[in-house]
Structure 1
Amino acid sequence: MKRRSLSRLALCGLLTAGTGLLGACGSPTVEQTQAGAGPAAGFPVSVDNCGYQQTFDRPPSRVLILQGASVGEVETFVSLGLGDRIVANTQFYGVSDIPGMADKVAAVSKGDLALNAAADVPAEQALSLRPDLVVSTWSGGFDPKFGFASREMLHQAGIRTLVNPVNCAYGKSRNVTPAEEQAYRAGSTESTMAFAELIGQVFGVPDRATDLVGQLRGRIDAVRAKVAGREPKRMLIAFPDMSVMNANGLPAVFSGTIYDSVVRAAGGDPSFPDGGWDLTGNLSAEQLAAAQVDVLVLGAYRPGEDLDAEAAKLFAAYPQWNASKTKTYVKVSDGVYLGPANADAIEKIARVAHPGAF
């Protein structure tokens, strides 16, 4: 992939991070520009994010959202009415469980960026954009070994950084705390709410975050109430288009953390509880054949996938599943990942799994 040449500003940022030669750069940093204007109303706001202390004197206005194979962060910004604060977004699936969300995400500025070999924004491009905030779904988005700008490098250039709090331990190269490790292992729909509240705080719109969280939690709790007392259905979340993630060429099967949280909220039990990434990468055809599956939850990662045909293939391959005998499946996309689409996916799944409850 052809990489852009370093702009003068990007070179300044790299020099600053590497040598501390702030005086070598003629233009003021984002931090200096903000400091000269004084704090905005309701600010400063201080946050501890993954052990990284930062103070915001005003709401960020030039946000870069790193890719990280996620879409939950940009969808949170859109849901909070903050899409216009994004100068460059690299998160995009083209599908969503939230009606109209894919089009809204597509309309957010992409910043004319070229991703590097690690499928995200290289350091020089991040610096050349002159954002005042860079957001990553995981700590690894700031790891220089992948060609990314570190949090320290961005701080030296006056740029604030945030990691989705549930993923502090994911990709963090050092100083992972027990609390961060526990938060990562216990990820759930509540982690979606926590990120929305963090963004509401940092951008000075806590009321919007409270409203969004209240609506999402209310919808999820309403589903839980409707399916309460009913026999849980065994559910398998599979993404056929992600078969590259499995060493045996099977559909990617996701289990644990947020996935199990979505399944349980919809009145189900996961076919492979707490499976984690080892299951996704190493699941065998024999294990899949032996799974108890009452409801097949098929995920779309990109537009145009024929999930009806994929369901037929899996039912033919595994006729012993209860789901194969009853032809019970539901189509989802981003709602089984972290992000505001959780409520939509839970509603979809529960209606198929427990039609008598609705």
Structure 2
Amino acid sequence: MFDRKPSRLAMLAAMAAVALAGCSTPSADEEPAAAPAAPGPTSYPLTIRNCGQKVTFTRPPQRVLILNGTSVAESESFVLLGLQRNVLANAQSYGVSDDPSMVAAIKAMRTGGLTMNRNFEVPAEQVLAARPDLVVSTWSGGFDAKRGLATREQLAAAGINTLVNPVNCAYGKPDAGEAEKRAHERISIGSSYEFLTLLGRVFDVQRKAADVSAGLRRRIDAVRGRVAGRPPKRVLIVYPGMSMMNANGLPAVLTGRITDDVIGAAGGVNAFAGRSRDVTSTLTKEQLATAKVDVLVVGAFTPSEDPAAEADKLFRAYPQWQASRTRTHTAVADGAFLGPLNAWAVEKIAKVVHPDA
């Protein structure tokens, strides 16, 4: 995607770190996220507060630069709302997706010839030189001068608006308020709808945003309805390709926040429910061996990964799992993280958690 890339291992490590940190409620200074019953057109100038900053739009942005942030949630949201033509340069990518059409759609977005620095982000000078009218970041750290990035103040002085995905205001913001911290700690499936709603207002596509969000809600609600009342099964979500995050070289284990929300919607309970998210870095073979696992979910984020083969390795390594005895597994990709594709992951997991539902 870019002219120059950091090492693949370093990139995966950074992606894993940010993805796991993102694995609700809007912040107190954010405009209400709930879409009205019949959303009308946006009236410009539109002024909102985003992570404590006032941002005014005089028209829908036409030259958007989406920062990397080792996220794909923001670029996928642009795709689902049909806003690709408004993107001047997109620095996000994932490689595989729970929505088969998404990889090609993101690959087709313009990249603007951008290159990333050692922090896997677009340097300040390149952002300013691109002359965007809006810069979007998945987290507040995307505007951290210490990382070689343009600050929101610098960009505002150049006449460039900025937006942070509201649920991540506290992430990378040392002086985050209590409401922002609570919002970040409560990242859920609903957080993705909030960002879609925000984009709908900013780009005057409120009806589209409402329709997309409603469609995603219906899909997940339909699964919740089918599995309601059934005994929850214990689900383990692992990303073997993120093993660099674990001191013992074990697959990254996802737990907490949106991960638990996705598993719960599918009729399961996280095998490591209640454990700190630090379990990813501290997990031992003994802890993994003694976990109660009815269903194994293998995550991937590169096309070269083979989730079925990885599942087989884990079944052989941990034959005591119930999942190993029944060989019950499925694969997910981006749908387990913050972003608009949670419905795909919920549907995939539900099929193996409650196959007769």
Report the TM-score when normalising by structure 2. Answer: 0.87
Q: Distance in 2 between matches of 1:318 and 1:280?
A: 18
Q: Deviations over 1:287-331 (max 9, x none)?
A: 111111111111111112111110011111111111111101111
- Over the matched positions of the two proteins, sequence identity in percent amounts to 57
Residue in 1 that maps onto 2:93:
92
* Contact residue 257 and residue 274 of structure 1 kept, 8 A: no
The answer to whether 1:59 aligns with 2:27 is no
Provide the residue aligned with 2:178 in structure 1. Answer: 178
Amino acid at match of 1:160: N
Which amino acid is the alignment partner of residue 265 of structure 1? A
How far has the Cα of 1:111 moved from its partner?
Answer: 1.1
> Aligned equivalents of 2:334 and 2:179: distance in 1?
27
Q: Which runs of 4+ in 1 moved over 2 A?
A: 274-277
Give, in angstroms, the shift of residue 92 of structure 1. 0.6
2:46 maps to 45
Letter in 2 for 1:106: K
User: Following TM superposition, by how much is the alpha carbon of 1:234 offset from its aligned partner in structure 2, in angstroms?
Assistant: 0.5
Q: Which amino acid aligns with 1:84?
A: R
Distance 1:118 1:337, change over 3 A: same
The CA distance in 1 between the partners of 2:134 and 2:125, in whole Å, is 15
Matches within 5 A, 1:308-319: 308-319=308-319
Q: Distance in 1 between matches of 2:280 and 2:169?
A: 21
Which residue of the partner structure matches residue 221 of structure 1? Answer: 221
- Contact 2:42–2:206 (CA<8 Å) still a contact in 1? no
- Provide the residue aligned with 1:330 in structure 2: 330
Aligned residue runs from structure 1 range 12-161, under 5 A: 42-161=43-162
Specify the code of the residue in structure 2 equivalent to 1:97.
D
Match of 2:238 in 1: 238
Q: Give the Cα separation in 2 of the matches to 1:245 and 1:111.
A: 31
Could you say if the C-alpha distance between residues 200 and 296 of structure 1 is closer, same or farther in structure 2, counting changes exceeding 3 Å? Answer: same
Q: Could you tell me how far 1:75 is from its partner in structure 2?
A: 0.3
AA partner of residue 312 (structure 1): D
Cα distance 1:217–1:316, how it changes in 2: closer, same or farther (>3 A)? same
Q: Partners of 2:182 and 2:3 in 1: how far apart? A: 40
Structure 2, unmatched stretches of 5+, are 5-40
1:34-58 CA distances to partner (integer Å, 9 max, x unpaired)?
Answer: xxxxxx9721111111111111111
Q: How do 1:157-172 and structure 2 match up within 5 A?
A: 157-172=158-173
The one-letter amino acid paired with 1:271 is A
Q: Secondary structure at the match of 2:356?
A: helix
1:321 alignment partner AA:
W
Cα distance 1:83–1:274, how it changes in 2: closer, same or farther (>3 A)? farther
Distance in 2 of aligned mates of 1:275 and 1:214 = 32
| C-alpha separation in 2, matches of 1:232 and 1:2 | 47
| 8 Å Cα contact 2:90-2:111 kept in structure 1 | yes
Is the Cα–Cα contact under 8 Å of residues 75 and 340 in structure 1 kept in the other structure?
A: yes
Partners of 2:291 and 2:70 in 1: CA distance:
27
Instruction: Check the 8 A contact 1:143/1:173 in 2, yes or no.
Output: no
Unaligned runs of 5+ in 1: 4-39
Measure how far apart 1:99 and its partner are: 2.4
- Distance in 2 (CA, whole Å) between partners of 1:178 and 1:41 is 30
Which of the two has higher C-alpha Rg? Answer: 1
Partner deviation per Cα, 1:101-157 (whole Å, 9 max, x = no partner): 111010000111110000111111111111111111111111111111111111111
Q: Tell me how far apart the structure 2 counterparts of residues 131 and 276 of structure 1 sit (CA, whole Å).
A: 39
Aligned to 1:18: none
> Is the contact made by 2:262 and 2:342 (CA closer than 8 Å) also made in structure 1?
yes
TM-score (ref. length: structure 1)? 0.87
Shift of 1:354: 0.5
Q: Hey, what's the Cα distance between the residues in 1 that align with 2:272 and 2:143? A: 32
Task: State how far apart, in whole Å, the 1-side matches of 2:282 and 2:223 are.
Answer: 33
The higher-RCO structure (CA 8 Å, 6+ apart) is 2
Matched to 1:232, the amino acid is P
Letter in 2 for 1:91: Q
> Cα offset for 1:173?
2.4
Equivalent positions of 1:252-291 (< 5 A) are: 252-291=252-291
Aligned length: 320
- Letter paired with 1:217: R
Q: Give the AA of the match of 2:290.
A: A
The answer as to whether partners of 2:69 and 2:138 remain within 8 angstroms in 1 is: yes
The Cα offsets for residues 219-267 of structure 1, whole Å up to 9 and x where unpaired, read as 1011000000001011111111111111111111111111111000110
1:59-85, CA deviations, whole angstroms, 9 ceiling, x for partnerless residues? 001111111111111000000000111
